[in-house]
Chains A and B, each alone.
Chain A
Amino acid sequence: MVANLVEEETSNGGTHPLKFALWLIIISIIMMFAAFTSAYIVRRAEGNWLEYDLPSILIVNTVVIILSSVTMQMAYNAANKNNLSLLKVMLLLTLGLGTAFLIGQWNAWADLVNNNIYFGGQGSNPSGSFLYVLTGVHGFHLITGLIFIILVLTASFKYKVHSKKMLRIQLCTLYWHFLGGLWIYLYIFLRVNH
């Protein structure tokens, strides 16, 4: 009931409250990563910092997640044009690419372990642990993004996503682009600070 009231009273233009709320959630996630990356810089400047090579698969993952953003946008455009079959295909593609990204990240962790860069325990150094934390926390948020996509996909199979009902996919697209952008930031950050 409440949500209905909300919609009823804000239909007169402006940002939808839920979209606004999503922006705020994004800001809080940004603050979290700002804390991690600034901690990274501060800690690195203090010395006793193990230097190592970033796993080469990360660049592949970066390409994959950019592609997934493209398919997500195409899904959005398809919904806007009521091209419902293309919408489903594109959402499925996005889901697949997102999962591929996660598998790629997992492989990157395997690479790190092979290079004797460990998350914790004997012989671990914060420089390695930070990489695990950054990718891990990003990965966690990516999983929430995948769940969101699954929800939108299910809705699209019930014909609940189309040009007159764009809010759901709009929010999902926004969140997904943010997650992609966040990864690109993290990747550049790691490249620059290595």
Chain B
Amino acid sequence: MSTTDISISKDVHHAHEEHDHHHDQNFFEKYIFSQDHKVIAKQFLFAGIFWGFVGGFLSILFRLQLGWPEATFTFLEPILGKWVENGKLDPEFYLALVTMHGTIMVFFVLTAGLSGTFSNFLIPLQIGARDMASGFMNMLSFWIFFLSSIVMFASLFIETGPAGGGWTVYPPLSALPQAISGSGTGMTMWLISMALFIVSQLLGGVNYITTVINLRTKGMSMTKLPLTIWAFFLTAILGLLSFPVLFSAALLLIFDRSFGTSFYLSDIFIAGEALSNTGGSPILFQHLFWFLGHPEVYIVILPTFGIVSEVITTNSRKPIFGYRAMIGSMLGISLLSFVVWAHHMFVTGMNPFLGSVFMFLTLIIAVPSAVKVFNWIATLWRGNIRFTTSMMFAIAFVSLFISGGLTGIILGNSALDIQLHDTYFVIAHFHLVMGAAAFFGMFTGIYHWFPKMFGRMMDEKMGYVHFWLTFLSAYLVFMPMHYIGIAGFPRRYYSWTGFEAFNTFTDMNTFISLAAIMGFTAQFVFLFNFIYSIFKGRRATANPWHSNTLEWTTPVNPGHGNWPGEIPAVYRWPYDYSKPGAAEDYIPQTVPYSQTQSSNLPYEKDLE
């Protein structure tokens, strides 16, 4: 049973063996090298949570430095060793901290942890498939990610420290080992890790797309798909098109670092010595990087669009407002995400005309984004809202997305961006709109689908504590950052007390740091709740949220193959909530129109 011929065709025909035959799977096949999408999803989730805590911890370290620039941190010596000298954080280590915080959060938590968990878990369950198109490739995707994680994690402990050139690793800083200690071995490991990461993402993405296109159950047309699936599908397409470009960019950077080529290097003097590299262009790297980098922020946020849409409509007990507009706006955002990358590069000396083209395209993104926000609010409007923890996070997501998105309109204008570039205003913008918002989306998903993943419920009271502390600290951290950003406070600066202009912000920085520590501490409430509920949580029913989608038609703990019997067929869209005339306030997708004659609309009579 467990021998899976993923390769090309089956050589022996097993007729209908989708029943509970997996008793003979040993521990490794069942939990470690599993090809079951649900187990792989949980593996991604655990890895993502682990990385989330690592990334969060790093941010607390540099927030300590920023909040109390004059203090001595001798108490950190047992953890950080040589990186703290006489109680002072090493400046190059500070750069490594922000670099690794960015890399870990963007790639390891919000790309692998988010897409990896929910695409894997929900795609087969919500479209009615037994598993992914290729379980083997799916398993490979996780284990290559795991390898990549090990390399990245190990780089935190090497003597010269992890990569320190910022998560965007711009050359020449990242290309020259003699520039800073973080551009030495740490940078090499960063590149190896990211190359593996990209391979893992491509394997995963190919699977997600193939599964959505090929393995939908009977009746599940593209316009009957839950919005989650549309979101995961488009995310995977974005990844498939943009990650190879990052791979190319990284490959050229590897050649520049280790093989003496000059793709990105030209006419450089370093430490009184002239390098032989000629003819390279560092701007070239920025173009290649941001061609990935911009779609990447949508890879982070799109899955949460889907998750939040699903949770808001379920807990408002109302059909989603503008289902097709939601799909259309996601398509629009995906398309636009490929033609706006140069708005990250307004200060590279690009042609102002080109700058205004990119500015125009960037500002258009506000339209589909506003459509989505409008539709979420319209869905909430006069709904029978149930404030589950998941719903709280979903509503807060909309709030964060609006607050962060508005500053996007400001930053998208090249004239304003040149002023605000690389200040804390930018930090505030993207942390709200893609950082905090994506995290809130992820929590929304975890709280909502936890019963399906583990067969138990998470504790609501602890959930509320977690929610309110996180929500408050998200705003308390990032709102003041707008203010100091407009004042010109630059990002990535280790120490700023030497500048007269910024001295007045000491209190505000201390305040931000305190809020950040509060936010980080709150995550331990979540962690406890999560682990506790896996083992001791209240047992879940098959459909605890009275939801319409297919995953809730499986047993409480779905086995390998998801449905014990035949895969259910689908007759209607997933958002028939509170339909007038219906017996209950929800009609699952598996209920044919012939059974709901009292609630059918005139045009649905033909489908009976």
Contacts and interface: CB of A to CB of B under 8 A. Distances in A.
Interface of A: 1-10, 14-15, 17-18, 20-21, 24-25, 27-29, 31-32, 34-36, 39, 42-43, 46, 48-50, 119-127, 129-130, 133, 137, 151, 160, 165, 167-168, 171
Given A5-B131, A10-B215, A35-B249, A28 B244 contact: yes
B279 A49 contact: yes
B278 interface: yes
Interface in B33-91: 35
A43 B284 contact: yes
A119 B259 CA distance: 8
Contacts of A124: 260-262
B487 interface: no
B290 to A, nearest CB: 12
14 contacts: A2-B131, A3-B4, A3-B6, A3-B7, A6-B133, A21-B207, A28-B243, A35-B248, A39-B263, A119-B259, A120-B262, A126-B279, A160-B11, A168-B7
Contact of B252 (A1, A27, A133, A171): A133
Contacts of A121: 260, 276
A79 B284 CA distance: 47
B70 to A, nearest CB: 46
Contact of A7 (B10, B16, B209, B210): B10
B540 interface: no
**6 closest Cβ pairs, A-B complex:** A120-B260, A35-B248, A2-B135, A17-B133, A32-B244, A31-B244
B260 A1 contact: no
Contacts of A4: 4-5, 10, 13-14, 17
Contacts of A5: 18, 130-131, 561
Given A7-B9, A25-B206, A32-B245, 12 more contacts: A1-B14, A4-B10, A6-B130, A14-B214, A35-B245, A35-B291, A43-B281, A48-B278, A121-B276, A129-B255, A167-B8, A168-B9
Nearest to B13: A4
B1 A1 contact: yes
Interface string B107-144: 00000000000000000000001111111110000000
A10 B214 CA distance: 7
B240 A27 contact: yes
Nearest to A169: B8
A17 B214 contact: yes
A25 to B, nearest CB: 6
Contacts of A21: 133-134, 137, 206-207, 210
Q: Is the interface of B mostly helix, strand, loop or mixed?
A: loop
A119 B261 contact: yes
B279 A48 contact: yes
Contacts of B247: 32
B495 interface: no
B277 to A, nearest CB: 8
A183 to B, nearest CB: 17
Select the residue from B9, B35, B209 with max chain A CB neighbours within 10 A. B9
Contacts of B259: 119-120
Contacts of A168: 7-9
Nearest to B287: A42
Contact of A17 (B210, B244, B249, B561): B210
B488 interface: no
Contacts of B7: 3, 151, 168
Contacts of A137: 251
Nearest to B129: A9
A21 B215 CA distance: 12
Nearest to A32: B244
Given A15-B214, A32-B247, A50-B279, A1 B2 contact: yes
A8 B247 CA distance: 36
Contacts of B134: 2-3, 6, 17-18, 21
A3 B10 contact: yes
Nearest to A127: B279
Contacts of B106: none
A14 B133 CA distance: 14
B125 to A, nearest CB: 15
Select the residue from A14, A31, A124 with max chain B CB neighbours within 10 A. A31
B388 interface: no
Contacts of B2: 1
B213 interface: yes
A172 B524 CA distance: 51
Nearest to B258: A120
Nearest to A34: B245
B541 interface: no
B280 interface: yes
Contacts of A133: 251-252, 255
B363 interface: no
B202 A39 contact: no
B241 interface: yes
Nearest to B201: A28
A155 B136 CA distance: 20
A125 B251 contact: no
A42 B259 CA distance: 22
Contacts of A48: 266, 278-279
Interface string B271-292: 0000010111100100110010
A19 B1 CA distance: 24
B263 A126 contact: yes
Contacts of A3: 4-7, 10, 134-136
Contacts of B291: 35
